[in-house]
Amino acid sequence: MFQSVRKNQKSTDVPVVLVAEGITVAFGGFVAVKGMNLKLHEHDLHFLIGPNGAGKTTMLDVICGKTKPLSGTVKMADGADLTRLKEHQIVRKGVGRKFQAPSIFAGLTVQENLTLAAEARRSPLQALGIQRYSKISPAMERITLQIGLQDRVNARAGALSHGEKQWLEIGMLLLQEPRVLLLDEPAAGMTDEETHKTGRLLQEIARERSVVVVEHDMEFVREYAAKVTVMHEGKLLKEGTMAEVQEDPRVAEVYLGKRRDDHAVAATN
Ligand SMILES: Nc1ncnc2c1ncn2[C@@H]1O[C@H](COP(=O)(O)OP(=O)(O)OP(=O)(O)O)[C@@H](O)[C@H]1O
């Protein structure tokens, strides 16, 4: 029922979770992002696409606090401006970031990795042992099922397949209960089956959170994106559904002009 209501809702009816406005980022003299805006709603599965060097990753870096913009704001629903906060404070505000290379502990088991992630969310007092997880908690159990690693809890993370490692890291982020999850090419290097599992996992996560994905694989975007923002040369070029984005001749032009390969939006339709 929840989903059918959502389907009929206009995006304007859905609460806004985060608004980035007028973001400008310079590296030395080079302006990589120029006055970029991005608005996230609850339950968004929002893909950020664009040619190489468009500024997509830089936008994620600004939201999670890794990069500070020259100007602009990133406001959460409570009015907090993330550009004024440190990275760990932004995590506490509910923004989780997954980079391309998984940051898991290869020598620990799946369960141990998840336990560490769960502990990281707790306050120092809790971490001192008031209520330690002695075994798998209900939240961990639910997330282990969600990421499909329920039969691998005792496997060493280093022994997992590439896809499983990525899902483990997503699970570790979910244990921090982010409101916004930022992912950089989550399906890169995966088999077709792993790619589809990842797409379905992201759809499921978006039922409870907002998800932003930087992506080059247009098949993946077409199949799983609810909303697409196209960036070009540091600016917003187009925003809409994948169908709307593909119909825009400017989008075809920036892809055909810069990337005559499998990823080209126009060439795949
Ligand atoms: N730390 C940095 N120092 C200098 N230039 C940088 C830095 N980070 C990014 N850039 C430059 O900023 C521009 C935007 O980079 P960014 O990685 O955000 O683009 P992107 O759209 O994510 O590209 P790709 O799809 O290739 O990953 C590029 O020209 C890049 O070379």
User: Between 120 and 217, whose confidence is greater?
Assistant: 217
**Ligand 1 atom 8, closest CA:** 58
**Ligand 1 atom 1, closest CA:** 27
pLDDT at 135: 63
Ligand 1 atom closest to residue 25's alpha carbon, by position in its atom list: 12
Q: Collapse the DSSP code of 257 into the 3-class scheme (helix H, G, I; strand E, B; otherwise coil) and give the result.
A: helix
Tokens of 172: 């570790």
pLDDT at 13: 80
pLDDT at 86: 95
Considering the chain, what percentage of its residues have pLDDT values greater than 70? Answer: 85
pLDDT at 268: 46
The ranges assigned to domains in the chain are 14-94+212-269
Res. 16: pLDDT tops 80: yes
**Ligand 1 atom 5, closest CA:** 27
* Site to substitute for ligand 1 among 58, 182, 254, most atoms within 8 A of C-beta: 58
Q: How far is the CA of 53 from the centre of ligand 1 (A)?
A: 5
Q: How far is C-alpha 86 from the chain's CA centre? A: 19
pLDDT at 68: 97
User: Between 5 and 131, whose confidence is greater?
Assistant: 131
Res. 122: pLDDT tops 90: no
**Ligand 1 atom 27, closest CA:** 52
Residues 239 and 227: beta-carbon distance below 8 Å: yes
Res. 220: pLDDT tops 80: yes
Residues 80 and 93: beta-carbon distance below 8 Å: yes
Q: What is the CATH number of domain 14-94+212-269?
A: 3.40.50.300
- Degrees, nearest 5: CA angle 179-46-50: 135
Question: If you average pLDDT over residues 177-191, what whole number do you get?
Answer: 94
Res. 264: pLDDT tops 60: no
Q: How far is the CA of 233 from the centre of ligand 1 (A)?
A: 10
Q: How far is the CA of 55 from the centre of ligand 1 (A)?
A: 6
Res. 20: pLDDT tops 50: yes
User: Between 259 and 32, whose confidence is greater?
Assistant: 32
**Ligand 1 atom 25, closest CA:** 52
Q: How far is the CA of 67 from the centre of ligand 1 (A)?
A: 11
- The mean predicted confidence, pLDDT, of the chain is 87
The predicted-structure confidence for 32-77, as pLDDT tens digits, reads as follows: 999 999 999 999 999 999 999 999 999 999 999 999 999 999 999 9
- Of the pLDDT bands very low, low, confident and very high (cuts 50, 70, 90), residue 250 is very high
Residue 46 φ/ψ, nearest 5 degrees? -110, 120
The predicted-structure confidence for 73-99, as pLDDT tens digits, reads as follows: 999 999 999 999 999 999 999 999 988
Question: If you average pLDDT over residues 12-26, what whole number do you get?
Answer: 93
Q: How far apart are CA 204 and CA 247, in angstroms?
A: 28
Question: If you average pLDDT over residues 193-197, what whole number do you get?
Answer: 95
User: Between 264 and 66, whose confidence is greater?
Assistant: 66
Say which residue the tokens 């100007």 belong to: 71
Q: How far is the CA of 205 from the centre of ligand 1 (A)?
A: 28
Report the pocket of ligand 1 as residue ranges, CB < 6 Å: 27, 30, 32, 50, 52-58
